[in-house]
Each structure stands twice: as C-alpha cells, then as structure tokens.
Structure 1
Amino acid sequence: MDPGPFASALAALSRAEVRYLVVGGVACVLNGFVRTTEDIDLLVDAAPENIRRLLDTLATLGEGHARELCVADFTDEEGAIRLVEDFPIDLFTRMGGKRYADMLRFQKLHPGEAAIPFVDVEGLILLKSASRRPQDQSDVEALRRLRRDG
C-alpha cells in the first residue's frame, strides 16, 4: 500500500530523524485496509529536541504554519494539535493513553524515498479500541477481520 499524497511530508520527517509513528487512517491503508482519509495522524515522541525537529521540518511544508507552534504547545495530554498545510496533520503526544515509546513495539516500516514508520494492525486495534468515535470502532472491526483473514 502507498501513503499517497502524504508520502513526501512523511519522508521529509524521516529524513530529519523525527521520531514519529503514523497512526489513524493512513496507517490502516499501509496495513492493507483500504479506506479514505483526509488527514494524517502522527504520534510523536514528546522529547523537546524531537519536537523542534518536527516543527522545523513541518515549517518547510505548504504555507509553513508550523512556525506558529513551539515546543511548549506539546503537552503530555490527550488530544491533537491540528496543523493544516496541503492537508490536515493531527499531532499527538499521547493517544488512547499511549505515548510514542509505548507503541514502538508495534512499529513497521514502509519502504520508499525514506522509511516511513507506522503502527501495525495490533497497535491500531489497541489505539482505536480506546476511542468512542464511530469511524474508529468501524476500523477496529475491519482490522480484526484483516488480522483474522490474513
């Protein structure tokens, strides 16, 4: 599967050695469950030097709205910071009670211009099971079928 229009932004983050994992709809697609998504969800390591690399890299994309953010904006709380460039990017330091380090055991790499780290089926089921959103619950059902049917 291909990360589609998000590939160049993700490759830029990987080249800058930003520690992140693709979660959400794009991760579903990378795992073989094809569905549409209009944004990209990233679970990022909240270490200040990593957030600086993240913001520096995102500032080079689109209109560069990431320049308006600072390290202090990234707290250890649930919820996303939404950045809209050529497409919406939702940045999480914690999702479903899990942090970047908690999810590394579920990491897979998508080859390409630069390896793109994403969460595997098991990790997505874990993250999305904690959500009450109907789309996430639908994803969990589809991901369980994907896991079962191989």
Structure 2
Amino acid sequence: MNPDFLDLLAALVRAEARFLVIGAHAMAAHGVPRATGDLDVWVQANPENAARVWDALIEFGAPVRALGLSKTDLTAPGVVFQMGEPPVRIDLLTSITGVDFDHAWSARSMHRVGTLDVPFLGRTALLDNKRATARAKDLADVEILERREPQDG
C-alpha cells in the first residue's frame, strides 16, 4: 500500500476515528486484488467522530481548508472529500449506497496493513454496497466475490 495511504490510516487509528476502508482495497482484503488509483475511506458521520477524523486529517497534513472542507461537513451524509491525484488519491466519504455505518462497523473485517490493524468493510456489507450501486463493474465484483470463499479477518 502506498506510504501516503498508510500515513492517513495511521493518523485515523491514532485519533480513534471510526472509519472503514472500502472500494478496491476492501475487495483485495476479501481475496480479489485489483489495481486502483485511490484509497476509499468511509467515515462515520457524527459530531464526535467528525472531530476525530478532523484531527487525523490535520495531523496527516490534508489541505482541508484549501479544499473547502469543514469539520461540520464530516457530519453530513453524502460528502466526498478528495485529496491528491491518481494513483495516490484519497477519497473520504461520509456515506455509501445501501449500507448503514453502524451495521457495517459491527461487522467490520480487521486486517493487518504494515504495522496497523485497519478496519475494512466486511464481506456482506461490501456485497450489499455493490448490489445497491448496481454499476456494471460492481455487479461483476458481486459475481467474483460470491464465487470466492470468505477470507479470514
């Protein structure tokens, strides 16, 4: 994983933020690796967690003010904050289609990334999200995931 991605994940872990790695990195964690140009991170959208995520973003050095993000934005569903350019882009999301954060958090899948224990979107929630999104590539991912044995974690 890219060092910038690891730095952000480490800052989120240190801040005790509630977040889940989603997207292609979650697919890889569940046994379906693929090339990707970004890291997708879903954060719980509430005031307490927003403060923790904000602290992590500041520690990481994210250009939050320059890009117009406020701590309050992190409490609202539907926010997508993008930093960087592919292949080192980070997308921070406050909601995803078809999945509730609290439910996903309770069924998260923990994986070791470098020296960190990182929470990833669990397999069932990943499948639910991909079905709800219903894009062709996501439906293809559903077929691949359903053919694979669940991974430990």
TM-score bracket, normalised by the shorter chain, equals: 0.7 to 0.9
Aligned twin of 1:52: 51
The runs of 4+ residues in structure 1 deviating greater than 6 Å are: none
Q: Would you say 1:92 and 2:73 are equivalent positions? A: no
Cα distance per residue 1:61-115 (max 9 Å; x no partner): 35x212341122235434x413213732222222114232021232111124221
Q: Report the alpha carbon displacement of residue 128 of structure 1 after superposing the two structures with TM.
A: 0.9
Aligned twin of 1:141: 143
Aligned twin of 2:25: 26
**Letter aligned with residue 145 of structure 1:** R
Aligned twin of 1:10: 9
Specify whether residues 85 and 135 from structure 1 end up closer, same or farther in structure 2 by C-alpha distance, changes over 3 A only. same
Q: Which runs of 5+ in 2 are unaligned?
A: none
**Letter aligned with residue 102 of structure 1:** H
Q: Counterparts of 1:106 and 1:115 in 2: how far apart (Å)? A: 15
Q: Counterparts of 2:16 and 2:115 in 1: how far apart (Å)? A: 14
**Paired-residue identity, %:** 34
Q: Report the alpha carbon displacement of residue 41 of structure 1 after superposing the two structures with TM.
A: 1.6
Cα distance per residue 1:19-45 (max 9 Å; x no partner): 011111111111221111111222211
**Letter aligned with residue 45 of structure 1:** Q
Q: Counterparts of 1:140 and 1:48 in 2: how far apart (Å)? A: 33
Aligned twin of 1:69: 69
Q: How many correspondences in the alignment? A: 145
Q: TM-score, normalised by structure 1?
A: 0.82
Q: Counterparts of 2:26 and 2:43 in 1: how far apart (Å)? A: 14
Q: Which runs of 5+ in 1 are unaligned?
A: none
Q: Counterparts of 1:105 and 1:149 in 2: how far apart (Å)? A: 17
Aligned twin of 1:107: 108
Specify whether residues 149 and 95 from structure 1 end up closer, same or farther in structure 2 by C-alpha distance, changes over 3 A only. closer
Q: TM-score, normalised by structure 2?
A: 0.80
Specify whether residues 49 and 137 from structure 1 end up closer, same or farther in structure 2 by C-alpha distance, changes over 3 A only. same
Q: Counterparts of 1:148 and 1:50 in 2: how far apart (Å)? A: 30
